[in-house]
Structure 1
Amino acid sequence: MYIDSHCHINFPELAERMPAILAKMEENKVTHALCVSVDLPDFPQVLALAEQYPNIYASVGVHPDYEDTPEPSVEQLVQLAQHPRILAIGETGLDYYRLEGDLEWQRERFRVHIRASRETRKPLIIHTRSASADTLRIMEEEGAGTDKGGVAGVMHCFTESLEVAQAALAMGFYISFSGIVTFKSAKELQAVAREVPLERMLIETDSPYLAPVPFRGKMNEPGYVRHVAEYIATLKDVPLEQVARQTSDNFRTLFNVPA
């Protein structure tokens, strides 16, 4: 059994196909999925899916790529996170890849999410791209992670170095791998995946993006997370059943979901 720890099935191209999405999950033994919020205007759609389907969970947060969107406050995130179907704060973090100029607003938004996580005791879902040094620095300064009295979280869709992974692991975070790890060009990431302990690993699709091999280039969906697990099992030379069981157990531990 598998769990997709990060997807965006509220996006229109997937939401309009929910019966087929759920059927594909069942076909591939994907028992649950976490639908992750990227902005507040669309958050009601994310929550509605979690309220309608018992095997779908939700988060609340504002993605660092979304510049022209209402800024969340700590109080607002804390209030929205009280809903029992909300498992986490995020996705949040830093992304310097697409945006230029003064990005202090992005760093301040990240701090707001960390503070909401500490107050709610719900884990963070962190996105970082071309910004790992600042991401780790702000995590340290704001007390993200269990080593600072905060809450554990996950570095989602991980594509950074082993050194960044080790720093996040030391803070109590989990590392999540998406379909990118299956790409032939992802040799450095595959080397990182070999080193990350299975006990601290999650798997995800980040659908509708980043479909794993053999579906690369097509629309991704939660049912395809099985292929990420299969590739991880090959990389680490362990039974697929072990990857499936451990990553599912890790999800339940991190997000406080009963078995």
Structure 2
Amino acid sequence: MDKNLIFDAHTHFNDGSYADEGFEIKTLVKEAQEAGVGYFLNCAFDLESSKLALEQATAYPNMFVAVGIHPMDVHNFPKAALEEVARLAKSPKVVAIGEVGLDYYWAKEHRELQKEWFKAQIDIARKNNLTLMMHIRDAKDNYEAYDDALEIIKSLPAPRMIVHCFSANETYAQKFLDLGCYINIGGAVTFKNAKDLQTAAKMIPLNRLLVETDAPYLTPHPLRGQKNFPKYISYTVAKIADLKNLTPKEIIKHTTENAFQVFNLK
């Protein structure tokens, strides 16, 4: 582990838009490395992206994989898909189950099914000693998805847990921290209107903090509105450093150490 290199703890090299627009993974990785990124978690959102993430990671010793089915997609899969997730979870490259969880913003009509699949995929994480990468999203100023997720992981905790792309407030950050979760901060923290998230980022302890791009989504300011790439993570690191009155180097050191810890990497 090189503590001077950034660990992008949630990105999507497997997103189809990269290939559709002619971006090669080797170029994206090279550009990220030139920008100081040394490690990647290539996170899946369905079976196809899980398999593709594994295929992509074979070429890179510092790229790791999360497999799983996103809450917005669970209604499109038969229950047998869970058996395939469990099979893929046994790959040596897989360090997490994700991204899985609850999304009440886009998929309001499948709440009970989402909960069922969330619990089933937590069970896969538990059986394989893998980290849980949680996607939790709700409408603005509504926290039902967060409340339901908290209730589920209280009764069914995974070995290690991450809240991906945290977007709530200080109160909810503390609730997840109290359950032992790590909190992954993405480009939204750079947005001018993200005051609640910025306040939360200030209080998250350095030993529980992770950074991510969620690329190709959530491009940080000042590039907001453009396609996101792992090379842009430095904007997020710089903003968190500013909020915590620390140097970017200090943020990189702690978040990279945390990523190695939470993904159970040697």
Q: Could you state the TM-score of these two structures normalised by the residue count of structure 1?
A: 0.93
Structure 1 residue 13 and structure 2 residue 12: aligned?
A: no
In the other structure, the counterpart of 1:83 is 91
Q: Distance in 2 between matches of 1:163 and 1:81?
A: 33
Task: Look up the SS of the partner of 1:172 in the other structure.
Answer: coil
Deviation at 1:171, TM superposition (A): 1.4
CA apart distance, 1:234? 0.3
Q: 2:154 maps to which residue?
A: 140
- The residue number in structure 2 matching 1:50 is 57
Structure 2: state its 5+ residue gaps.
139-144
Give the letter aligned to residue 3 of structure 1: F
Distance in 2 separating the partners of 1:189 and 1:231: 12
Give yes or no for contact 1:14–1:21 (8 Å, CA) kept in 2: no
Amino acid aligned to 1:108: E
| TM-score, L = length of structure 2 | 0.90
Cross-structure match for 1:30: 37
Q: CA deviation at 1:102?
A: 4.5
Q: CA 1:223/1:71 → structure 2, altered by over 3 Å: closer, same or farther?
A: farther
2-side partners of 1:172 and 1:72: how far apart? 31
The structure-2 alpha-carbon separation of the partners of 1:71 and 1:213, relative to structure 1 and needing over 3 Å to count, comes to farther
**Distance in 2 separating the partners of 1:8 and 1:26:** 16
Are 1:183 and 2:191 counterparts? Answer: yes
Matched, 1:221 2:202: no
For 1:99-146, what per-residue CA distance to the aligned partner results, in whole angstroms no more than 9, with x for missing partners?
Answer: 23352111100000111111111110001112111111111122x1xx
Pick from 127, 147, 168 the counterpart of residue 135 of structure 2: 127
Of 46-55 and 192-201, deviating more is: 46-55
Distance 2:25 2:237 in 1: 23
Q: Percent identity?
A: 36
Where do 4+ consecutive residues of structure 1 move more than 6 Å? none
CA RMSD of aligned residues (A): 1.5
Relative to structure 1, the CA distance from residue 187 to residue 58 in structure 2 (aligned partners, 3 Å threshold; closer, same or farther) is same
Contact 1:75–1:116 under 8 Å retained in 2: no
Give the one of 2, 6, 18 matched to 2:6. 2
Q: Is contact 2:97-2:125 (8 Å) kept? A: yes
1:98-247 to 2 correspondences below 5 Å: 98-130=106-138, 131-142=145-156, 144=157, 150-247=158-255
State whether residues 59 and 87 of structure 1, in contact with CA within 8 Å, keep that contact through their aligned partners in structure 2. yes
The 3 A distance-change label for structure 1 pair 140 and 74 is farther
**Stretch deviating more after TM superposition (225-234 or 17-26):** 17-26
Q: What are the ranges of 5 or more consecutive residues in structure 1 without an aligned counterpart?
A: 145-149
Count of residue correspondences = 252
Q: Which moves more between the two structures, 78-87 or 118-127?
A: 78-87
